[in-house]
């Protein structure tokens, strides 16, 4: 079920976002994970080109030196109707709309990762989580 019962975004502390789902599952998303999992077309295209999974940091181009990345934090957080949430990130990126279905699909908890590892249906081995 991809319907949140309660959503808490710890914007000030930078702790991330917690979602309690109506089926009783609880998910915690760090802000860097969410930024790296941005579902917008631009980020999705970059991920596809590099073969990275949702939530994985961007891959360095061959021969490029690693650059310092300021930790991701949302400058603003806004609901998108009743189906999603969007972030305006401190790096200026504003394009991603994180639907509840998408967030449930990419839940980073160990149980959900194990379910995705056994599924070949969704990006990065991610299957929609069924309860």
**For residues 32, 35, 36 and 40, what is the CA-based torsion angle, rounded to 10 degrees?**
170
Residue 14 included in any domain: yes
The tokens of 47 are what?
A: 């991920």
Contacts of 83 (CB under 8 A, 6+ apart): 99, 100, 101
CB-based burial label for 68 (10 Å; 0-12, 13-18, 19+): exposed
Our measurement of the distance from residue 63's CA atom to the centroid of its chain's CA atoms, rounded to an integer in Å, reads 28
Q: Tell me: the pLDDT tens digits for 71-113? A: 999 999 999 999 999 999 999 999 999 999 999 999 999 999 9
Has residue 130 been placed in a domain?
no
pLDDT in tens, 11-54: 989 899 999 999 999 999 999 999 999 999 999 998 888 888 88
Answer for the pair 17, 102: CB distance below 8 angstroms, yes or no.
no
pLDDT, residue 131, reads: 33
89, part of any domain: yes
SS3 38: coil
pTM of this prediction? 0.81
Q: What is the CATH number of the domain that holds 48?
A: 3.30.2020.30
Tell me, yes or no, whether 31 lies in a domain: yes
């Amino acid at each position: 079920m991809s319907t949140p019962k309660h959503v808490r975004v710890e914007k000030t502390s930078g702790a991330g976002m917690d979602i309690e789902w109506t089926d009783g599952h609880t998910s915690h998303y760090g802000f860097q994970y969410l930024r790296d999992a941005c579902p917008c077309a631009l980020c999705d295209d970059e991920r596809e080109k590099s073969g990275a999974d949702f939530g994985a940091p961007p891959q360095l181009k061959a021969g490029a030196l690693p650059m310092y990345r300021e930790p991701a934090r949302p400058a603003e957080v806004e609901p998108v109707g009743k189906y999603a949430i969007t972030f305006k990130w401190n790096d200026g990126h504003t394009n991603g709309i994180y639907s509840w279905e998408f967030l449930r699909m990419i839940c980073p908890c160990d149980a959900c990762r194990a379910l995705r590892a056994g599924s070949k249906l969704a990006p990065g081995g991610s299957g929609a989580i069924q309860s």
